[in-house]
Amino acid sequence: MTKLQSGIEIPENSDFTLENLPFGVAEVIPGKFAAVTRIGNQVIDLEILEKLGIFSDSAFDFNSVFNKQVLNDFINLGKQAHKVVRKRLQEIFARDAQVDKKLFAAIHSAAIKPFTEVRMVMPVHVTDYTDFYSSIEHATNVGMMFRDPKNAILPNWRHLPVGYHGRASSIVVSGTNIHRPLGQTLPAGAEIPVFGPSKMLDFELEMAFVVGKSTGLGDRVKAENAEDYIFGFLLFNDLSARDIQSWEYVPLGPFLSKNFGSVVSPWIVTLEALEPFRTEGPVQDPEVLPYLKTEGKRNFDINLEVAIKTSNNDENVVCRSNFRHMYWNICQQLAHHTINGCNINTGDLYASGTISGPDPGSYGSMLELTWRGTKPITLKDGTERKFINDLDTLSMRGFSEKDGIRVGFGECITQILPAKP
């Protein structure tokens, strides 16, 4: 694959190349929202491009989809429409673009703005949210700590992608700060719970995919063509209160320990953009049931990291992982989710579960990194962390790179504020 040359300056190591072209929504001027993409440090207003006639010779009507506060209507136009937009953007922003001079001037004066001059907002109305538990390293680590080191992986785990239905209302965009939750916890050795702010607030490093095509009740998505139903990916920080979780989760799973705020990156990177970074997943043993079988490369090589920024602005990278470690791939997740006839909708979000790798530096949560607080991490400012302190800022980043081509997600950040009084 030859690297595309952009007419817009792209700084070295930028996630936002001409191969990427992620979709998001920005407040482009106060009170005015538009669908946007990004090249280098410039944000490109798709509504203005549409008005300039950039997409007019396609079979799709983009007139009423780029001026919304969310991308759902655009996503709902389908994969062919997304590909048309991607291809046109790669044509008109190429270094040697064959664009009429007047049009070129209009695009550059009206449709392009520095990233720092806009405010990114939640890119999608999340219709439903499911969280999987698809990293075998994470499931093993949690099983060892919460249950039985000898039987860390439960008997069902290698036969189906375990998941739970989460809550959509509290999924927010990067830059939204989250208050420490209050709740019930059971102190060590106690028989009755106490109430107060969580003392074990944690992040979970995850990726999430956005569904781009709905199904009817009773329909099943086949694993082999599940990707037809997937629009793209986001970074996903599934904030978790471990002390609340360990008391409440029996027998129905996580509840208030997980739904007080989850944070997504503002950019949705499409499956098309991630195409060059496909990779094999781990070998699945035992063999899975026929409805879960997939062929070919269904995992993606995406480097992931998490940093804790302290109030003096020191940045401490505490975890480096990779999305390719996932035991269950996205096709298997969607096939399993619909095997009973559960319908899915454009705008649904499916998170991977914490993405831990095999070595301790790649664990995707503080729970695992500090082994439930028994091995605290020392930060640059000399302070220790077992979990996340008030006023810590969490930053997640992710990018793929191959043959000099880079496609990334930018940053997913949130600051943890003290519990609301």
Q: Active-site positions?
A: 138
The first and second tokens of residue 380, run together, are: 């640059």
- Return the amino acid letter for 176: T
Pick from 238, 243, 368, 392 the residue near Mn ion by CB under 5 A: 238
Q: Is 368 in the site for Mn ion (CB under 5 A)?
A: no
Closest approach of Mn ion to the CB of residue 352, in Å = 8
Q: Is 204 in the site for Mn ion (CB under 5 A)?
A: yes
Closest approach of Mn ion to the CB of residue 258, in Å = 6
Q: Which of the ranges 13-21, 197-205, 281-289, 317-325 carries the binding residues for Mn ion, by CB under 5 A?
A: 197-205
Q: How far is CA 294 from the centre of its chain?
A: 23
**Residue 207 or 334 with smaller CB distance to Mn ion:** 207
**Residue 19 or 238 with smaller CB distance to Mn ion:** 238
Q: Is 202 in the site for Mn ion (CB under 5 A)?
A: no
Closest approach of Mn ion to the CB of residue 291, in Å = 24
Measured distance CA(239)–CA(414) in Å, rounded: 10
**How many residues of this chain interact with Mn ion, rule: CB under 5 A?**
3
**Residue 118 or 171 with smaller CB distance to Mn ion:** 171
Which ranges of 189-316 does DSSP label H, i.e. alpha helix?
A: 242-248, 271-274
**Residue 28 or 208 with smaller CB distance to Mn ion:** 208
202, 387 Cβ separation under 8 angstroms: yes
Measured distance CA(353)–CA(364) in Å, rounded: 9
Selection from 27, 37, 30 nearest residue 74 by Cα: 37
Closest approach of Mn ion to the CB of residue 359, in Å = 21
Closest approach of Mn ion to the CB of residue 135, in Å = 10
**Residue 238 or 243 with smaller CB distance to Mn ion:** 238
- Return the amino acid letter for 105: A
Q: What is the CA radius of gyration of the chain?
A: 22
> Among residue numbers 100 through 139, which ones bind Mn ion (CB under 5 A)?
131
Selection from 150, 153, 141, 252 nearest residue 204 by Cα: 141
Residue whose beta carbon is closest to Mn ion: 238
Measured distance CA(141)–CA(151) in Å, rounded: 11
Q: What angle do CA 346, 351, 352 make, to 5 degrees?
A: 135
Selection from 214, 417, 192, 250 nearest residue 334 by Cα: 214
Closest approach of Mn ion to the CB of residue 303, in Å = 20
**Residue 47 or 137 with smaller CB distance to Mn ion:** 137
- Which parts of this chain interact with Mn ion (CB under 5 A)? 131, 204, 238
